[in-house]
Structure 1
Amino acid sequence: MFANHKGEIPFVILSLPFLAGIGLALYLPFQVSVTNLAIIFACLSIAYIVLNISYKKLALYKHQWIGGVLVNCILCCAGCLTALNYSDLSKADHFSKIQVQYLTVKIDNEPVIKNGLVRFAATVIEGIDKDIHLPMSGKLLISINDSSAFNLNYGDIVLVPAKYNAVDPPFNPGEFNYKQYLAHQNIYHQAFLYPRQYVVVQHNTGNPLIAFSLQTRKQLVARFNRTMHDSSAIAVASTMILGYKADLSEDVLQAYAKTGTLHVLSVSGAHVAIVFILLSWALSVLNRFKHGKIIKTLFIVILIWAYALLTGFSPAVNRAALMISLIIGGNSFYRYVNPLNLLAVSAFALLLYNPYYLTDVGFQLSYLAVGGLIVLQPVLYKCVQIENKWLDKFWKLCSVSIAAQGITFPLSMYYFHQFPVYFLLSNLFILLPVLTIMYIGLAFLLLSWLLVVCTALAYLLEKSIILMNKGLILIEKLPYASINNLWISKIDCLLIYGIVILMFYFLFNRNKLLLNLGLALTLILFVSVGWKKVDSEKSNAITFLNLKKQRVIVFKMGENAIVLSDLKPSDKNYRYSVQQGLDSTKIENIKVFSFTEDINLPYLRKRGNLIRFQNKSIVLLDSSFQKLNLTPPLKPDYVYLTHNPTVSINEVNDIFNYELLVIGADNSDRYIDSGKKHLTNSGKKYYVLKRNKALNLTSD
């Protein structure tokens, strides 16, 4: 739905520079002074006020662009200031800037129990040092390996030792940037605790409304567990209806991701819309009364926000709840408001509250999807005129799915590196099951106190979810169901968005210039992707990866790779720290060997502890290394020390005349520290993998 003129969508236009300001503050490679930025903001605001007062005197109506430039600059500065002020790390009383013995923290969210660990984010209230209590700020991610911690809840105040570490950045190619992910939640440090290292000081000090919400959700999830039997059905029901994701298995997530239906497992706009439709129907009787429509509106708004509270106030739910509240509020007073403007209002309000929402993938995809439905879907729907009533309805559903997928797939490719080929089929398939599951689930929660009704509803709910899961698994197993390993850069992502937008506008007004521009961007995209592909095929490299307890070396020869690893490809750490890097560098043919195996291939040979890759030689030194029958000085290119070798680094230097010494991350701090002192004095080249990025060495 387009705006006839800019006056219909003022918030869309005003939100763009504000968003740009937040983006600049978050992603600029250098720090900006808050004070200097505040001065610039004040000067621009004063200039704008002065120019408005002197509008006629200065004849500014002849130069209207000046006011537009000033407004955009003011809003951009406001976005920057909002983001910079939200960062806890910049505050003087952040706990990392003051040395104390203990920290008093308050649990911010519902603790998650997984693999025997209890994990939660906590806000630091104060630091304690020799009976001195100092007010502090900042957030800390805490993990506790103790079954007694299973009883911790939101709002509990806990005393912990002031022993924490900065969150590590990604060390290996392609690894998920967990440090950045937590930083966008204002978390920069983490602590790992064991039994008797923490004390619960006080219970239930959090927001009573949120505490009630989380406790209620926990009880409702428990009801699902008591009345349903299939674990995957229970997990999907808890996620779809209540937004509780802790129990979802990797297999279930993969099935939904590869079929393009992952949005179903995130309580968002569609779920809120279903609740809205149900409430509108249930409260339609109020329309008969004089002020019934206003009363109905108030009830619906209150109940929708109650549902949002129950699901944990996720950005997607907040957006949907706020937007629906504005729409039904406008309809109640017979006022038309452009949906794009409402979308911008909700985004502006949420980002004003928390500018870091802009970095949330769910937030980005949610707003893009709704924007696509508002703008793209009507155009796509009108492109095909169908006279048959039912076929026309079917095409309308198809256009909804295509519009949402068309506007979100570049971002999905950038973040998740895959494209679901049968997204249209899977989205049409789940339409009826999702409606059924949502309505049965809501009825179950409302009527769970009636035993017979509760049991019947639980049975129907479980069977509906199992049927939906089986259908999606069948679609997932179809040939070419998903195109994987689609690693694109930010520039590529922007190029794809440029193509999508230009093609959309071409469908709207049939301007051939837009088509030509779209084709030009397509050509640039193909050249970019092709160049990277050719460059990858020509490049050869040796990469020593950084894993805490395991050794991994990747020998890349164009599209082929040999992986020497202590891990098996089925291991979680392999998929997380090794496979991602292989995929990101366009490697297609991979062979995995253990360090105990000998290898005899055209471009790589390994016998015992000696490796030859093209014209480079590597010696592996570990705890089993023996100095017997060695005639120094040997001249390998690289020596790789792992598993705390029995020889000292001083002895290594006597035996080998190497180009570079690589010290593995699995060595002890004591061994590394003693070796670094000697290496510094000797002037030898070395690289320590521990707490450093993987070492990538190009090879001819």
Structure 2
Amino acid sequence: MIANHKGEIPVVVLLLPFILGISIGFNCNSGRYLISLAVGFTSLLILFLLLNFYYTHFKIYKKRWLGGITIHLLLLLAGWIATINNNELNNARHFSKLPAQRLLLRINSEPQLKNGLIRFTVSVIAGINQKQPTPASGTLMITIKDSSALQLTYGDELLIPGKYAPIDPPFNPAEFNYKKYLAHQNIYYQEFLYPGQYRIIQSNTGNPFIAKALALRRKMVEKIKRQLHDPNAIAVASTLILGYKADLSEDVLQAYSKTGTIHVLSVSGAHVAIIWALLAFMLRFLNRLKHGRVIKTVIIIPIIWYYAMLTGFSPAVCRAAVMISTVIIGKTYNRYINNLNILAVSAFILLLYNPLLITDVGFQLSYLAVAGLVVLQPVVYAWFTFDNKWADKIWLPCSVSIAAQVITFPLSAFYFHQFPVYFLFSNLFIGIPTAVIIYSGIFYLVLPPIPYVSAGLAWILEKTILLMNHVLAWVEHLPFASINKIWLTTTEYLLLYAIIICVFYFLYDRKAWLLRTGIVLIFLLAASISIKRYRSYTTNSIAFFNLRKNTGIVFKNGDHAVVLSNLADTDKNYNYSIKPYLDSCKINDVILYKPDQELRSAFLRKQGNLIQFRNQSIAIINKDYTDTASAVKLKTGYLYITGNPKIPLAIINKNHEYHTIIIDATNSPKTVQLVVDQARALHANYVVLKRNKSFLAASN
């Protein structure tokens, strides 16, 4: 299984305190800690060296734990220091700390076009103030709405205005935290540009190896487009072989996600292993030479790393490249290395280079999947024994799929909130098509144009992709194809992993205490989920959403909800901002109404501009509002101001008595400020949704 003794996996044991140090660094990442940490690290390092120099003199062998504690503390501090050093905001020359009218920057990623916008990241070189440049550093996200920006490439230097802004946090409950996602890539600011707001200063100033790799990838994508005709086939081929994801459609992504095969669209260890197998087969004749193994190693390893660079250096590819390089070297010199140690070495190298990689979902899933194959797959494979060799050959990949799915399920459910029911069939099916696609695609891209041969390879590539897409789309639409709305808390996520460890360790070691512990943990998990579900079904609330230019109010009554919005349920903004909240609340029945529609249900009534939800009422004030000059004030809980109404608040107060004013995001900044000033003058409670978090009001 894992190891009979921790001495067999020393790198795994040493990796744990390093990861703990990185975790501490995320929560305590201020640069002011660096001096204290450096002093502590240096002191411990001196102590460790003294313990080794005077090992016999001080009889350290009687206190072996002292050396262990020292090296673990050293690694913990190393992880903490590496995380702080990696945080660009701790650099005194970060562009956000320097006044600048203009910024000089270099494009450090491949610009991609999506929804009419060209987006890429840049490294800031200098800030320019009064025509005087000052060296600066930091990463900035750039978005350009200009078709001519398609000519921009990696390594171009641009001059832009210094009008960047912080990344917005999530404004609505359960919404994807894009700010946190970018912060884990050291990106804290962004800037939107229009035609004429940027100027190219120089070209081709980036790393020449990366520039050539990206240029080669663009040529290969163009070559794929010349012979393949179906857009989805082109997108899948570009993604699966080259890691180029810009052309993938939402329908294709959804089909692969709901069938548990999304990992195929991420160039990962399996892809690198196929490349390795192909190279090893082609160069097997070198084994006959005296130094043939060494020559083969010298050829294969650079090719694997060039392929990793070609596909964008994703965490999964880097992990696979490091692992396979280590395995190749070990085989060359006939050295046996425990697979978990190889996995830990690759993780240590990558995290030392960039500690932020540990927050990458692809990094986490990749390492967990491989660890599951090493640790859990032998246990799963031992469940059944077949005398028939073909049955055994079928069961072997089944055990691989089960082990990988089990170990990654808690993490996948935590991030993606779904579980593919037919993952076993889907993963068994895609094995052969994936290999055919990679091999035919590589030969098609590498070989020069040959009549009939190139066309034949392109035909095989396209038809295989279309077949795979068709079967996965069919699986996606089978009854109960996926379990959705899985929203785990951090505690539940950790409990799931504890249960998996206990169950599989029990199946391996048959110790009763593991089974008892697993049962207790299952009970705790069931209790947590039950309490959460009970609270969700017994609470009622109103959620006023910040949808920028759109209206959104959700009335939740147990597991039923009415959504008042001008967005359709197929709109990407609806699925990005409203649907996650409904799913996290376990809503089973959703009815969507337009803001101007009349409605009546068991718990909600809307007539004109007045809404009654259980014991709460809302008066909608929009541009069509008229002064009724009523003798009796209408009592409401909330006054919802939307659509830039021009009527003064003092006149509205003659007709309404309310508790709180909600100023939604559809109002212009001028209207928002006007209403806020009036509300303050009248000492009225108010909530501004524009560039602020949504407002939730309980109603029981």
Shorter-chain TM-score category?
Answer: over 0.9
Q: Report what 2:282 is aligned to.
A: 282
In 2, the alpha carbon distance for the partners of 1:483 and 1:42 equals: 52
Q: Report what 2:215 is aligned to.
A: 215
Q: Which amino acid aligns with 1:237?
A: A
Deviation string, structure 1 residues 44-83 (Cα, Å, up to 9, x no partner): 3333334444544554433332332222222111111111
Q: Report what 2:697 is aligned to.
A: 697
- The Cα of 1:341 is off from its aligned counterpart by 0.4
Q: Report what 2:489 is aligned to.
A: 489
Q: Report what 1:73 is aligned to.
A: 73
Contact 1:624 1:646 in 2 (8 A): no
Contact 2:29 2:83 in 1 (8 A): no
Q: Report what 2:594 is aligned to.
A: 594
Deviation string, structure 1 residues 481-500 (Cα, Å, up to 9, x no partner): 11111111111111111111
Q: Which amino acid aligns with 1:243?
A: G
In 1, the alpha carbon distance for the partners of 2:28 and 2:531 equals: 27
Q: Which amino acid aligns with 1:388?
A: N
**3-state SS of 2:376 partner:** helix
Which deviates more, 525-534 or 24-33?
A: 24-33
**3-state SS of 2:626 partner:** coil
**3-state SS of 1:611 partner:** strand
TM-score, normalised to structure 1's length?
0.98
**3-state SS of 1:174 partner:** coil
Deviation string, structure 1 residues 480-526 (Cα, Å, up to 9, x no partner): 11111111111111111111111110111111211111111111100
Distance 1:28-1:475 versus aligned 2 partners, 3 A rule: farther
Q: Report what 2:142 is aligned to.
A: 142
Q: How does 1:61-460 map to 2 (within 5 A)?
A: 61-460=61-460
- The Cα of 1:312 is off from its aligned counterpart by 1.3
**3-state SS of 1:89 partner:** helix
In 2, the alpha carbon distance for the partners of 1:464 and 1:685 equals: 62
Contact 2:330 2:337 in 1 (8 A): yes
In 2, the alpha carbon distance for the partners of 1:643 and 1:413 equals: 38
Q: Which amino acid aligns with 1:177?
A: N
Q: Which amino acid aligns with 2:475?
A: I
TM-score, normalised to structure 2's length?
0.98
Contact 1:542 1:553 in 2 (8 A): yes
Q: Which amino acid aligns with 2:283?
A: L
In 1, the alpha carbon distance for the partners of 2:278 and 2:58 equals: 58
Contact 2:619 2:639 in 1 (8 A): yes
Q: How many residues are matched? A: 700
Q: Which amino acid aligns with 1:191?
A: E
In 2, the alpha carbon distance for the partners of 1:277 and 1:525 equals: 43
Contact 2:629 2:654 in 1 (8 A): no
Contact 2:155 2:203 in 1 (8 A): yes
Deviation string, structure 1 residues 461-486 (Cα, Å, up to 9, x no partner): 10011111111111112111111111
- The Cα of 1:113 is off from its aligned counterpart by 0.9
**3-state SS of 1:592 partner:** strand
Distance 1:455-1:57 versus aligned 2 partners, 3 A rule: same
Contact 1:259 1:426 in 2 (8 A): yes
Contact 1:21 1:75 in 2 (8 A): yes
Matched, 1:530 2:565: no
In 2, the alpha carbon distance for the partners of 1:8 and 1:227 equals: 51
**3-state SS of 1:120 partner:** strand
- The Cα of 1:299 is off from its aligned counterpart by 1.1
In 1, the alpha carbon distance for the partners of 2:171 and 2:537 equals: 24
In 1, the alpha carbon distance for the partners of 2:632 and 2:675 equals: 20
Q: Report what 2:23 is aligned to.
A: 23
Deviation string, structure 1 residues 309-343 (Cα, Å, up to 9, x no partner): 21111111111011111001011111111111011
Q: Report what 2:667 is aligned to.
A: 667
**3-state SS of 2:246 partner:** coil
- The Cα of 1:388 is off from its aligned counterpart by 1.2
Q: Report what 2:571 is aligned to.
A: 571
| Alignment gaps of 5+ in structure 2 | none
In 2, the alpha carbon distance for the partners of 1:689 and 1:182 equals: 23
In 1, the alpha carbon distance for the partners of 2:84 and 2:149 equals: 35
- The Cα of 1:598 is off from its aligned counterpart by 1.0
In 2, the alpha carbon distance for the partners of 1:655 and 1:167 equals: 40
- The Cα of 1:667 is off from its aligned counterpart by 1.0
- The Cα of 1:22 is off from its aligned counterpart by 0.9
Q: How does 1:618-637 map to 2 (within 5 A)?
A: 618-631=618-631, 633-637=633-637
Q: How does 1:646-685 map to 2 (within 5 A)?
A: 646-685=646-685
Q: Which amino acid aligns with 2:247?
A: D
Q: Which amino acid aligns with 1:340?
A: L
Q: Which amino acid aligns with 1:693?
A: K
- The Cα of 1:643 is off from its aligned counterpart by 1.0
- The Cα of 1:99 is off from its aligned counterpart by 1.8
Which deviates more, 40-49 or 180-189?
A: 40-49
Q: Which amino acid aligns with 1:216?
A: L
Distance 1:87-1:29 versus aligned 2 partners, 3 A rule: closer
Contact 2:30 2:84 in 1 (8 A): no
Q: Report what 1:521 is aligned to.
A: 521
